[in-house]
Structure 1
């Protein structure tokens, strides 16, 4: 690998890591109710480019905007560098372009949340839809960046053609985690808007027919976490058998351990009544689980991945 290629790979990982920090800070903005720290102004803050005598909430929101602007610059550099340094047809070009596209839509969704006042104490169901869309785009952005890192490190282009059971397992796992992530965003919003003073009170809120719909939806997240977890871990094990490359096996093992850790973090989050720091840990683990699943998918669907299903079909046809 040339020094230029190594440099691009390092920068792609740096952009991914910085993006995760921005995502976590965005969750901190929501968890602390600081989304209206700059009022309903965007991109300026309370009508000013640099706020004077800002409150704590303004500082939190303004910091998120500054770091979001920086990561946008990194995404532009990643895209331009990727297009210039790689020949036509190289998968890095696709990953870099998709990363920039999802970075732009991420910024647009963030701006819409502010401009439409879907922040702070807004408890409308519309805000839940916006939060779900924001989370969905965040996962797509992180996935595109993870693929760029994978391909920058020499990973082969993937294909969906003639993948059989492997393709279905991958699609089911990806859709399952995206659905789980959206339910997690809605559950976190409910925790922020309606904090419980005890675990018993929180459980009563979840099952009360008179509770706000955000609280009644909150109970879906742990149920989905168990169901989706079973699907993802089972699918990862099957893909490791069908596409037994070292990268797939390693990713499958990591995925199982990380998902178990994520479930434990979820239980701790519930038991501690969703403190801000635990919400951030829970979200970070969710992002890491998603990154590992994307890497497993890329390795399993790679053009040159070894295929035991093809070998089995060949043996059956000869017998």
Structure 2
């Protein structure tokens, strides 16, 4: 897939336009985002992703479109797991409900910029060194193991990362929110508000998740444009999904298991890819190893299937638990 420079500029410009509309039109009057509004926006961003994928199919073929959809579904499903942490952050910082949309929007923009830089570095490394796939595979397999080990531990107390601790040491932070303002002047002295701190918390915390999700999508496509756009659509739709799911997140009790299966699958796929393009002298004398390749159709089928099974099993589990509690108290 040969992506011209002008298409990158058009894509980034369109993304900025959506963000500006969201910021100055949708969020011009801070309010609590209700279920119906969140549903409309989730469907809107899903439709945008589908239309974009169909456009990729039309101009670049079915393989590239399949890679985009597989990457998008993987990033979106991994992002759903991030929502647990976002809920904890919002609670820890006591963000007013009417300002949570603004916090998520700016936090996502910060995350998207940092992910863009990470994608550029990852693409350059892969183009230069095929053995990077081994490294990515190790990251994914370790993450898959940790997801299984940490199942049910999503309610842990949020701890500020080093970036936030440095910010608090360098800049004075007010104790209270001042609307949506990030900087205020009090008695002639400039202070930052908790609004800025929580925005940075969302953005920098997402980068930690990107250390797992970016290698995962590079296991599905090597095209940086598809990696970036899949991430962009997943992050933009994530904000509204936060308000749509709400307490429903706790019903996805098997989500961590499903994500671990997906990450482990992509990890194995990366190992096969690395062996197929092997350049390491201590493996098969530096020659390529004749191993089977996993096509994008199989990858997409595994991702969709695992997510469907995970969701259905989670809903059945929570329903049975609710019925057993009801029968016990009756």
TM-score w.r.t. structure 1 length? 0.39
- For CA contacts below 8 A with separation 6 or more, give which structure has more relative contact order: 2
TM-score w.r.t. structure 2 length? 0.38
